[in-house]
Structure 1
Amino acid sequence: MKVLLAEDNIVNQEVVKAMLGQRGIDVHVVENGKAAVQRVLSERFDLVFMDVQMPVMDGIEATLEIRRQESLGTFGRLSSEGPVPIIALTAHVLHQDRARCFEAGMNDFLGKPLDGDALTGVLRKWAPASGVSPLEANRGCPDAEGSFASSLVIWDREAFAERMLNNIAVMEKVRAIALDFLPEQIRNLKQAISGRNSEIARDFVHDIKGMAANLGALALKGIAEKIEQCIRSGLPVEVADLKQLDFDCKAFVDCLKGWEFA
């Protein structure tokens, strides 16, 4: 089974690749919607997982273009197979978000972070010959202490491990990427906020939220979500929220550094 993953965030790429790859699926990755259009129309894929929010061309635009080209007879697949199934990947799970995806021509919808059982259901629905099996999730992990301590757990590490199917090599790879990339994205976010560039800030905080969700960093995801809502509403981001973001990031990074995967 050959699948295309369109996702711009490197941490999220590794997480989804791990979840699909360990199910025996051949995963190909592109970083934006424009590249996804080019690959889908020139190669045969059984399924496409399309992140909704990406640079250059977002997932909605990419899907519209793929469906337009397919209507003109341009297929990467055999024309007898019909249009390629496209599955939306997004942290936005409101009814209107789903509606936008379906109106663009997407076939199904998965919220971030990906749930193993939901992923299995989608694979069985749109690629029934794949023979995937369900993934059971475990929960629970310690919280952090401190003046900015969140009511949410810092790291749901059991859920992260289950998402990675307890593959130590994959978890080590994702950890190394996250330790470099996550603090950098938070620095970029703070620079965008101080520069009053709300559009760039919104993209960075959305990226942070998605990474945190896939990594099981629940407290970090929560504060990133709050900051994103402020930016989308045109409200100023509170200094206390940025301090909370720093605290939750440091607490998560400390947990990540200290965990022995073996």
Structure 2
Amino acid sequence: KDLIFSRLRELLRRKAEPDWRGEEIGRPASPSCHHARILLAEDNAINQKVARRIIEKIGHHVDAVADGREALAAIEQRPYDLILMDVQMPVMDGIEATSRIREFEKGREERIPIIAMTAHALGGDKERCLAAGMDDYIAKPIRPDHLAGLIARHLPSQTDRRKEGSPVADAAVFDLACLHSRLDEDSSFYQEMITLFESDFPAKLAHMKQALGSDNLRNLIQIAHALKGAAANLEARRIGRIARYIEQSAADRDHGKIKNLLNELSLEFERFTTEAGRSLAEAATLDSSPYNMIPNR
């Protein structure tokens, strides 16, 4: 592993997770959703075929796997907008798979919505799913209108997606206040992490360009995914957002969009180095406990 990413995983970690469950369960369905990429984890061949057909008729793309372990492998290969997870599966059940996904997501910007599929429409079973980190659940046999409503509820609307169309829209270049509120370290720690990030970035960018040129999109996805996680830990939000778009575009094999995003990423890195240097210099001019004046968010 490269030094920057191993160090960031070791030293930078979130101190708390947002309480998102209550917000997700009660959110009203969006009137229209984009054509999402959905991962379906279901071991029963007939149930899998039925669920796939319903999802495709709604207008989404579907990848299907037969157990939780295969689901974990799938999300490491490409990004998904939503997961439909059967609760009872061989090898690894949906509860354990969801717990592992949520553990993996700690410290990252993204959180994949997971909808449980269960034959047990009981209150206790629903609570068990939510406790594992699932966002919602649907009882089998699946009703198409019910599944369509749940998918719409947990996916961004077309309006939200258009707002995200510009990779840097509404995102901070570098948020030192948020970084400090999360980690509560001194300036030397932040400077060490930023120096590691800045020293490693040019090679990462070069490797992504090489991967694009050789059509090695799988490798490009892996590099972009690692960059996205490092940027999220440093609160380099614009870089993280662009990396996420590169990851998605590579999964969709959109070479032209990837090229444009790599150019934007290079420019955004220059903005980051300038902003990070300015923010740390300003903080260093304060008292011996300079970050006490930085507001928590």
Normalised TM-score (structure 2): 0.45
Q: Do 1:18 and 1:170's aligned partners in 2 also have CA atoms closer than 8 Å?
A: no
Contact 1:154 1:218 in 2 (8 A): yes
Q: Hey, what does 1:96 align to over in structure 2?
A: 83
Mapped pair 1:255 → 2:249 = no
Q: 1:17 aligns with which of 10, 16, 33?
A: 10
SS in 1 for 2:255: coil
After superposition, the Cα gap between the structure-2 partners of 1:243 and 1:232, relative to the gap in structure 1 and judged at 3 Å, is same
Q: Distance in 1 between matches of 2:230 and 2:245?
A: 15
Structure 2, unaligned stretches of length 5 or more? 17-68, 110-130, 132-165, 285-297
Q: 2:25 — aligned with what?
A: none
Partner SS, residue 14 of structure 1: helix
Which residue of structure 1 aligns with residue 207 of structure 2? Answer: 188
**Are the aligned partners of 1:155 and 1:252 in contact in 2 as well (CA < 8 Å)?**
yes
Q: Which residue of 2 aligns with 1:209?
A: 228
Q: Following TM superposition, by how much is the alpha carbon of 1:182 offset from its aligned partner in structure 2, in angstroms?
A: 2.0
Aligned match of 1:178: 197
Please tell me the root mean square deviation across aligned C-alpha atoms, in Å.
Answer: 4.2
Q: How does 1:156-175 map to 2 (within 5 A)?
A: 156-175=175-194
Q: Render the CA deviation track for 1:139-182: whole Å, top value 9, x for unaligned.
A: xxxxxxxxx99322211221122233133332122122111112
Aligned position for 1:53: none
* Structure 2 contact 236–272 (Cα < 8 Å) conserved: yes
Measured after TM superposition, the shift of residue 201 of structure 1 is 0.9
Note if contact 1:112-1:210 (Cα within 8 Å) is conserved in structure 2.
Answer: no
Instruction: Look up the match of 1:55.
Output: none
Question: 1:213 and 1:201 mapped to 2: Cα distance?
Answer: 18
Deviations, residues 55-76 of structure 1 (Å, cap 9, x unaligned): xxxxx58x99xxxxxxxxxxxx
Aligned to 1:113: 107
Shift of 1:202: 1.0
Contact 2:167 2:245 in 1 (8 A): no
Partner of 1:128: none
Partner SS for 2:83:
helix
Name the CA distance, whole Å, in 2 between partners of 1:195 and 1:209.
22
SS at match of 1:201: helix
Secondary structure in 2 aligned to 1:189?
helix
- Residue 263 of structure 2 is matched in structure 1 by 243
In structure 2, distance between residues paired with 1:227 and 1:256: 23
Distance 1:11 1:104, change over 3 A: farther
1:19–1:163: 8 Å Cα contact kept in structure 2?
Answer: no
Query: For residues 16 and 158 of structure 1, do their structure 2 counterparts lie closer, same or farther at Cα, with a shift above 3 Å needed?
Result: farther
Which residue matches 1:231?
250
- How many residues are treated as equivalent by the alignment? 166
State the Cα distance separating 1:112 from its structure 2 match: 4.9
In 2 relative to 1, CA 248–163 (structure 1 residues): closer, same or farther, beyond 3 Å? Answer: same
Report the CA distance shift for 1:97/1:205 in structure 2 as closer, same or farther (over 3 A). Answer: farther
The residue type equivalent to 1:96 in the other structure is I
Counterparts of 2:93 and 2:187 in 1: how far apart (Å)? 37
Identity of aligned residues (%): 16
Is the contact between residue 79 and residue 248 of structure 2 (CA under 8 Å) also seen in structure 1?
A: no
Distance 2:4 2:204 in 1: 12
Distance in 2 between residues matched to 1:257 and 1:221, nearest whole Å: 18
Q: Is the 8 A contact 2:14 2:182 kept in 1?
A: no
- 2 CA distance for matches of 1:149 and 1:95? 21
| CA 244–20 in structure 1, closer or farther in 2 if over 3 Å, else same | closer
Any idea what SS the aligned residue of 2:215 has? coil
Distance 2:252 2:200 in 1: 27
- State the alpha-carbon separation in 1 of the partners of residues 195 and 85 from structure 2: 33
Shift of 1:220: 1.1
1:96 counterpart SS class: strand
Q: TM-score, normalised by structure 1?
A: 0.50
